[in-house]
Amino acid sequence: MARIRRLQISNFRSIQALDWVPAPGINCLIGPGDSGKSSILDAIDLCVGARRGGTFGDMDFFALNVDVPITISVALGDLPVSLMDIDVYGEFLRGFHPGTGEVEDEPRAGLETVITLRLQVGADLEPVWTLFSERAEQQQLERTLPWKERAALAPARIGSFASSNLSWSRGSVLNRLTDERAELGAELARAARQARANFGNQAAEHLTQTLEVVQRTAQHLGVSVGAMPQALLDAHSVSIGEGAIALHSETGIPLRSLGTGSSRLLVAGLQRAAASAAPIALVDEVEYGLEPHRLMRFLDSLGAKDAAAPLQVFMTTHSPVALRELSGSQLFVVRSAPQRHSVMPAGEANEVQSTLRKDPEAFLAKSIIVCEGASEVGFARGLDQWWVSLGATSFLAHGGAYVDAGGGSPDNSLIRGTALLNLGYRVMVFVDADKPSTAGLAEAFLAAGGQILTWRPGLTLEDEIFRHLSDQALDALLAKAETIVGAELMNAHIQTKSQGRVTLNDIRAERLVDGYSPERRELLGTASRIRNSGWFKSLTTYQEVARDIVGPSLQNAEPGFMAVTNQLWTFTSAP
């Protein structure tokens, strides 16, 4: 079963240069809009697909520069015996090193034998498909693949028009399932003739007067049409080929009329059944037309969970459901740079896999805030909502996402943030400052281009909001806590942390006289974050606290607290 071992693209659409070694199974491309994901699929289809020509325009050239030809090269491995015939293709057989991804011009022991198919389009917009090797080029040897071989290698495009594969048309997956062929040419021609005759018999009854006018006019002009012209179906219009044979249900309903999702699901299953004959599939926007449970089944049918990949699949997606179903080894991040595109595997590290399972949306974002826990996620989201209410653009609208690192040591957040940073995302880590990170971890993250948002040394989120917001904001915080956990539990926590010396009523009484003293503020911050019994310890609650209390109080907050929230604002407001 042929597999694409290496793909090289030059001067095609938004891609000035790309050199990629794909995986033998699922290759799910993700990245921001206009990063070139669909163009990669189109490049594979144009180069390897079974076509005798193609329609190209100036818009297909990078930066409209037609002086530099479009070049798409695909190195194919796991070749059928017919393509390894030394007498026929000897000068074009090359060697692929699976460890390095390099293609050597001469095949040798230890390398997989591959053949490179190249498509070039110049300023004349005429596509040319040839086989390529450096030694053949030096000898000025030219060779193309026979049509039969190209048809066998052609990838199946499972798109919004998947129903085209539900008839026996040219290139349909149905023609690849078995060696059976309809061989009904004579019968189809006879059916066409019968259709024309039957229509003529019926039409004559309704078009008599018109036919008589035609007959008189022709006779008057000396045009021979016989005794009486007939209204028959045009022979060219009813020429019936094998493509007219289509799948129908038991009741005779054409399967072409299936919904988009059902068509794609069925065709994917048929493509897998035909994998030995058509081992490569292309799927743009894999989630299109499919509910989550059917999307999961669709991915299964493509071999996403199989130990040995039945197909080599190139797909794109913007669906968190799809990402959650895939592993990091099946996920590839497309990045565009001024002169070169890159395709980076997400990898199978624990921090990547855990993010895929819990916060897959992050891989579809441009900017990510990795938060120590749910409290930080809620706080950041709440402030973002507050700023939006003032007229700002949401962090989500800028392509942002939040990741919950699950609490614990700040190392968890830094390690996860580093993994995302290495994949080209813009990343900020938001953690408390009460626990130190492993020496060198934060410094390495910052040196790699990440940002760290944290509070003053030794303080947590709860410490900061109770110490550095206005008295009026603390009134609102205590009222909010009472509605969530109740005054009795709040009082118990305050007494525990003060060794029984202070109660909730004492704090409220002192507030009426002198406001909240620094000592009482510190006590409230400590009491509010008792492990597993925090007053605000949930994403939703902290979102409400930030949006409804902290945000409206920022203008009166302590300058150091404002400096931290301003850093958050700077990150989330960047486009």
Cβ–Cβ under 8 Å, residues 333 and 344: yes
Indicate if 388 and 331 belong to the same structural domain: no
In a domain, 273, yes or no: no
Flag whether pLDDT at 415 surpasses 60.
yes
Q: Are residues 435 and 377 in the same domain?
A: yes
3-state secondary structure of 559: helix
Residue 203 has pLDDT above 70, yes or no: no
Tell me the C-alpha distance between 282 and 210, whole Å. 52
Let me know whether 104 and 196 are in one domain: no
- 254-285 pLDDT per residue, tens: 666 666 667 666 766 665 665 555 689 899 88
Give a yes or no: residue 19 inside a domain: yes
CA–CA gap between residue 120 and residue 320 (Å, rounded): 36
- Please state whether 178 falls in left (phi above 0), alpha (psi between -120 and 50) or beta: beta
Determine the Cα–Cα distance for residues 173 and 171; give it in Å rounded to an integer: 6
Q: Are residues 192 and 142 in the same domain?
A: no
Same domain, 32 and 148: yes
Instruction: Name the residue among 331, 259, 311 with its Cα closest to residue 289.
Output: 259
> Exposed, middle or buried: residue 109 (CB in 10 Å: 0-12, 13-18, 19+)?
exposed
Up-side HSE of residue 293: CA atoms within 13 Å toward CB? 0
My answer on whether 421 and 550 are in the same domain is yes
pLDDT digits (tens, 9 = 90+) for 56-69: 999 999 999 999 99
> Residue 178 has what DSSP assignment?
S
Total number of domains in the chain: 3
> Where does the pLDDT of residue 237 fall: very low under 50, low under 70, confident under 90, or very high at 90 and above?
low
In this prediction, residue 520 has a pLDDT band, given cuts at 50, 70 and 90, of very high
For residues 355 and 404, give the distance between their C-alpha atoms in angstroms, rounded to a whole number. Answer: 8
CATH number of the domain where residue 321 is located: 3.40.50.300
The rounded mean pLDDT for the chain is: 88
| Cα distances (angstroms) measured from residue 484 to each of 454, 479, 529, 542 | 26, 9, 14, 11
Q: How confident is the model at residue 53 (pLDDT cuts 50, 70, 90)?
A: confident
Last residue of a domain, one of 296, 321, 346: 346
Find how far residue 356's CA is from the centre of its chain: 13
Domain closes at, from 287, 320, 346? 346
Q: Which residues pair with 6 in a beta bridge?
A: 75
One domain for residues 358 and 341: no
Q: Is the pTM of this model over 0.85?
A: no
User: Has residue 51 got a pLDDT over 90?
Assistant: no
Domain enclosing residue 89, as ranges = 1-165+278-346
The pLDDT > 70 percentage for the chain reads 82
Output the pLDDT for position 414: 97
Q: What tokens does 23 get?
A: 């995986």
pLDDT in tens, 77-133: 999 999 999 999 999 999 999 999 999 999 999 999 999 999 999 999 999 999 999
The answer on 376 and 339 residing in a single domain is no
pLDDT digits (tens, 9 = 90+) for 361-371: 999 999 999 99
